[in-house]
Amino acid sequence: MKQEINRLEILEKITPLIENTAMRFNLVPIEIDFSKENHRWFLRIFLYSKEHDVTLDDCENVTRSLDTFLDELIPVKYYLEVSSPGLERKFKSEKEFIIFKGRRISLKLKEALEGETEKIFKGELVDYDTNEGLTFFRFDDGQELHIPKENIQSAKLYID
């Protein structure tokens, strides 16, 4: 008999455990994904730290701390992958605009701003408001821009 798995229900159960465990190591899980690929379940956790670059030791510590607890909460065999988000990872949630405040980002807009022709900018993420959108300091001309969140096509960390 095939077991029916509700992945959202499992994510709801394991997210607080993952967040609390990561916090013990001064880390923030910016993405937690539980999905099936090629008939196998994967739990992927991407960690971030404001204080330091995420290391292999950080990932190992979180993995070891979670291992047995997750096995009790996830009723199927799964593969656990814990890693850093990568240097130029695309943002996948609004939470990341808040976490990466003050960092350099590359921003792609759906529509060019009034009086502009370009839709791609590099600059510093100054602030983010879930209702208003983001405040962005553009590097090429030093101008501060206010961009409604509806006009954001994609954003990612930007490394010189």
Output the pLDDT for position 158.
82
119 assigned to some structural domain: yes
Among 83, 109, 133, the domain-final residue is: 83
pTM over 0.85: no
Among 51, 83, 115, the domain-final residue is: 83
79 and 98 in a single domain? The answer is no
Residue 132 sits in which domain range?
94-157
Q: Which residues contact 49 (CB under 8 A, 6 or more apart)?
A: 26, 27, 28, 58
88 assigned to some structural domain: no
- Rounded Cα gap, residues 70 and 112, in angstroms: 45
- Rounded Cα gap, residues 47 and 80, in angstroms: 13
Please list the pLDDT of the chain residue by residue as tens digits (160 residues).
456 788 999 999 999 999 999 999 999 999 999 999 999 999 999 999 988 889 999 999 999 999 889 999 999 999 999 999 877 778 888 888 988 888 889 999 999 888 888 899 899 999 998 888 899 898 888 889 899 989 999 999 887 7
- Rounded Cα gap, residues 111 and 100, in angstroms: 23
89 assigned to some structural domain: no
21 assigned to some structural domain: yes
* Strand boundaries in the chain, DSSP class E: 28-37, 40-48, 78-83, 104-109, 120-129, 133-138, 144-147, 152-157
11 and 77 in a single domain? The answer is yes
122 assigned to some structural domain: yes
Using CB atoms within 10 A of its CB, is residue 120 exposed (0-12), middle (13-18) or buried (19+)? exposed
107 assigned to some structural domain: yes
76 and 144 in a single domain? The answer is no
Among 83, 102, 118, the domain-final residue is: 83
* DSSP category for residue 132: T
Split into its structural domains, the chain has a count of 2
- Rounded Cα gap, residues 1 and 7, in angstroms: 18
66 assigned to some structural domain: yes
72 and 106 in a single domain? The answer is no
Output the pLDDT for position 1.
46
2 assigned to some structural domain: no
Output the pLDDT for position 141.
86
Q: Could you tell me the CATH number of the domain that includes residue 72?
A: 3.30.300.70
58 and 19 in a single domain? The answer is yes
